């Protein structure tokens, strides 16, 4: 059972859209020489972000998904990363962009990057919609970041609390009542 809460808008849908457009421009420049970019979404939180991002990329893209978890239904990382769904395709010798919803402690992204690096991609870069550097416990940083946020529990735009609020068009701060 989830605790009662309210959601205060933190980042508007309009701000998110504008930032994604700018990030896509930078990504297109970086990967301009690729024949096909494999965009790997980390499920479940990144699905809205990845959909909007790939529509802004004027590149030949292939989309794949990997599901990793260190949270379950809780609000705190367990620091144990489990791969719940692996990629369907091969990434060896290919250009890969990993799309993450939020980098918090960094354990999940660090684990995923080690895993994918071991598969010998040509180039491996990362993008995170949100970054909470004050919570970082590992030495990892996304290549591109949409927004740096304070240590707040957030939902919306694909990010959930106990599988709720993913469908909000904005990022909202959860305030427990």
Which positions are catalytic?
A: 104
Give Cα 168 distance to the centre of its chain. Answer: 16
Tokens representing 85? Answer: 């769904």
C-alpha distances out from residue 22 to 17, 92, 157, Å: 9, 28, 18
Question: What is the DSSP secondary structure assignment for residue 93, as one 8-state letter?
Answer: T
**Could you tell me if residue 13 is left (phi over 0), alpha (psi between -120 and 50 degrees) or otherwise beta?**
alpha
Q: Reduce the DSSP state of residue 14 to 3 states and report it.
A: helix
Give Cα 170 distance to the centre of its chain. Answer: 15
13 exposure class (CB count in 10 Å sphere: 0-12, 13-18, 19+): middle
- Give the C-alpha separation, 63 to 56, whole Å: 14
């Amino acid at each position: 059972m989830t605790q009662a809460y309210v959601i205060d808008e933190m980042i508007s849908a309009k701000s998110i859209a504008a930032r994604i457009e700018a990030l896509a421009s930078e990504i297109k420049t970086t990967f301009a020489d690729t024949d096909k970019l494999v965009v790997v979404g980390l499920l479940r939180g990144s699905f809205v972000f990845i959909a909007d991002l790939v529509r802004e990329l004027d590149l030949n893209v292939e989309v794949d998904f990997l599901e990793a978890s260190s949270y379950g239904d809780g609000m705190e990382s367990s620091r144990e990363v489990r791969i719940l769904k692996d990629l369907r395709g091969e990434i060896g010798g290919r250009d890969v962009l990993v799309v993450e919803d939020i980098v918090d402690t960094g354990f999940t992204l660090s684990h995923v990057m080690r895993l994918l690096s071991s598969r010998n991609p040509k180039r491996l870069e990362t993008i995170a919609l949100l970054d909470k550097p004050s919570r970082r416990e590992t030495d990892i940083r996304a290549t591109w970041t949409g927004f740096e946020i304070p240590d707040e529990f957030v939902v919306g735009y694909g990010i959930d609390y106990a599988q709720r609020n993913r469908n909000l068009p904005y990022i909202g701060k959860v305030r427990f009542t």
